[in-house]
Structure 1
């Protein structure tokens, strides 16, 4: 028992001894081109952040050594790695160059030192002391195959710079699912980009997979512009994860298709905070005005690499101790603790900047990447790709935009005919490839809604002609005037009289305006009745101004009551697009895949952006496959359909239960399409202008939209309906507030007159009684 208590006391008294040494050294090797770059910054910041963390490695500090080597210089790379071994590192990071990586790994493998990499490794063999965070070629090829399959490509060109890029994409045409895919391999460099693109254009290849060095991408984009391969027909799939750093300003408005994968979702709140803190670290603790917060994939992978190693150390500390040993490339004696450490690192599962991180035999599994697509204003996330699940596109319209598809249809039609006539709106995408005549009909987007139902009559509807605040003000005025009448009558000597006029010696006087009589006089005159008559000038002013007030109030009430009784009040929950966006009870949507949907999706106006976010996220979907379905949902109630005004007017004229809400949200026109340079374009435009001046187009519109409705005119009178929809509004302070001001001014005048009367009578009495005026007061 004594031994047990002694052991327990020692366990409590002696603090827990950490199983990790207080300092653990790590090394990083970068190419000279990366010196001072984003990858080195990410490495330094990750170590800094880990050392500040009180919970990750509370008793251990990471100390790093950084070495730089020339590209393609394996001898110096191995020599620098041995220098870091001599420094006493317990793990090595980098380099990202695929040629230098194997040489560094050979040194780590010989000495059982964990090698944490973030580079594309083309060797599929298992490496015992290697942990690689970069997606494997198998993962990348699977992602490219899935996106190609989704886009339904049957013919494409792969543009690569060196054999390394070709090896990376070698599995694209080896899978059975791609046996019908025609692939053209094109090797190019900055000096031959233009010629290669010209060859691709000559072969009528419109789908390209581009694998170039990031520093050469601007030359490739320049070649695209020079050869005018930047319209909707071409689609470029970039293998780089850093498309957000490309200068794509010249490509935003040409509807060219550019797609790429992304590892880092900078819109994630946690990731944004890390990137902001990294930016402050780079600026010595000061915040910069950089709002883009875009980090390169190499830098993000380097950051995650350091954190994976730190979490591995934390896991090891819970069950083992780490024994440090002096190592040397000359002795080639392996590190005994290296195998345990690499196994713990290999078991790490965390969420990093590049998404969920998990390993199997040193290679990263269960990868997840964002799919980015260049849209009219910027790059946008349109979906995700995940290992096993494949491509999940959240915005199919980004790839199969109806406006682009309509352009293709128009071009094909124009190649076979001289004219294309239909409900085709004139827009930039279509005008860039074909010609349009002058618009023969102008239109815009408007709101189709069900005709509001009549409002049921309420028991106290007689109060509707006046707003509630007016009723309250009238009540307050009634009390104020009654009290003023009472006080003024008491103050004025001319309201006091002898109740018995025949008895002249009677000194008793009375005042008819007692408190109750004052209130009775006020309410009586308001109701056009009354028995009391004021005698003094001041009280007559009070009475007169109150009569004027009641005249205005009663007349206004009577006139507005007549309007309420003769006008049918309708329940109209929305009046315009803003009302629609600020409520959630009434659903609203557009035609799926139409130009109206594209308008809201690409709009930069805040109200329309808010409406688009609502429509896009609403489940079940508020988009309809055709106009008939949209009209049907409107008639069912609690649904507003956003559609082109011409179609809307056509439906409204044929169904008394439909109406248009608000005005037009945009302005556009229908035109007749012709091939570019067609001699018919100007002639047709002149004919359209002539018909418009003569009013014949408007007469045809009236004929087919308004007059050609069978017997609908007999039971659906739009003018009557318009009158019913107009509603009488309750009078408020803005309408009759002035009469309250007149009333207050009149009461003020009455009070001043009462004071004058009192003073005059006191002066007169003081003279009669031979006393001073003040004494009489």
Structure 2
């Protein structure tokens, strides 16, 4: 039956009113919503951000305007899952709506199991990568997965075209990134297979993993792979790069990709031995460790976009980073790399976790889907199912909002997949480290680069009035340091050259001495000392000194064009001057003196014999007063007097005797002239003998110790060549010598040379300068290991080429040559001493080989004189002797008045005796003449040399009788 209209309308109105009352009652928001917070090892930042987040939300009129968020905080010890579960159970007993936690992965998994059992949403902010169920789990991970960094790193590897890579990781969590990287690389079938070498960095060592890092880097360096990726936390990454910089593995062809979400550089993390200077380093750049590498790394880290709207976000950022500066015309700004550390990241995500939960609850309340939670007891056999928790989980999985760390989206998975990665170049140069973004990566758009990684972007530093900080070391004549009333003043070749370069470049400089006094070498731990260390670790812009360019130094610094040639010289003590009272004998060798004396005796005898044999000699003339002028003693005297250029009392009358005398005089002339010339050289030059004349001579002896400066470039020069030829012998001697061959510096080497039997290897130009000042030292041999001197600059900087151009111009104009003569070719204060090396003794005294020709001439003269004697006898036939015999027989002499009684005179032919009677007789005359005539007849009749020699022998024997 139809109701009357006047009845139906009031009823409908009543029903509508009642429906509005009921609906209004359903939409009434809960006055208090309880949330549990569990923090592991809380920090002031996390505590403050949790407090601030709830404060901002309770003050926000747009989020849960009619409800108040109340929270309970439980602070537990590190990695204590039992304590965390116990705290969570206590919270469930107080009707909490959700749990927000920031714990380790182990604790988070325990809480995840508990909340899944009681259908309570669990918002987590893990400090490391932690697995979780993505769809049916009540755990919602607000912090993006670190596995995205693996994808970003692999995309960059493909972009750079790397074919091999060394990967470093330090934990199980980091190994998950490695596994993800390898898994994705294996799936890229269209790509060339990637060769990967894995290294585990063990942080559990007593030294904090430093020793393990050193060993690992040694292996990596030996592998010849130049591309490195580090999946490590901030601390281990810092240690890794620091040691790599010390080993020269952060410069040149070495390229590093560091993957981390946070990166900071605390003051106490500063490299050992590194000293900051005011104005050079900004503390906020977070990369001061790279000031010692002069290298470039690529940092891949989560993009941090500071949201300055709403005002609550800006207030939160001011707590996290008080120096944040909001741009008035922008609602967001990007943080420079390194501004946030690990704790600050977690604190920021805790703020976002609480805010996301509040937004989801607000939407649930607005849709009238919020269900009040009930008390839960962990010890119940059958946990109660809470439908409100399931609804809240679904709401959270559909959430898309903006938080303090940027956009947040769970994409129905329970894991925030909104993560953008900044690709940052971190470059160190001129004692500064700068970083800037060169690209981005995100899961949707992948890699987007605006600049090629590992290329320098610093602007040229050569500007007007640029002031360089230059390090040097004192070593004359390159650099001298003179004390004056106003302090100290530098001078020398390098200082003059530096002034010219500064004028050409319109630059200024300040000079300081290297603390350790070394030029620069690598220590056992891989660090660099000396000038190279000052430039390499960013404490100096340039190193100007007498520094040699070599390959080891070129690995960590750059050098300009050489400004002077370099070679290694040998400095030794001069041998003592020899005083010899018989120095007049030194012009001729002992063999020559022996042969001259033998020749003197032989020639004297030959003159005697020739005078007896020749028919034209004075001996053959009976009435000659010089008949005995050339007996044996007079012949010896004649030979000696002729040799002394004094001449004898008489000269030979026979042709044969004159021939022999002429050749003897010629021989004496040669000997005397040679002796006189060489004696003059000996008397005008101070002679010192040195048995070492070259590097080979030094290596072949063991009496003189030799060495150089320890840990210097020369030290390493010999060490590198310890298996090469002569250097092997030298290195074995130096490394096994009982006497330490090494010296700490050049000055010690100079003093040791002057006081000990020691040879010092050092720069040849410097040694040439030293021997002009120190008169008791000398250089021996020719310079070896020829190279050049250069100016060291940090790697890759533009002013190296500028300085090189200035050096080339100075060389072309001859200015550097003038400076070299000014400082190196000074007038020596030492007397010119000629050192005669033992290997060149022939240049000092005359040996037999050099003057043998004179003896040959003398021998020819002796032979020729005997030939003339033979000719003389052939020319005068025996009739000559018969004629004399007849004349002698017819002659009657009265010797009574001329000879005293019994006086005897031997004329060589007969004995004339004066008896009491006035008669004389020649008793042996007949026999002697007969024998002589007989032999002479045989000589005349001889037809061959043998018979002639026999006849001559008979004549000589008869004469002696």
TM-score (norm: length of structure 1) = 0.50
RCO higher in 1 or 2 (8 Å CA, sep ≥ 6)? 1
Which structure has the bigger radius of gyration?
Answer: 2
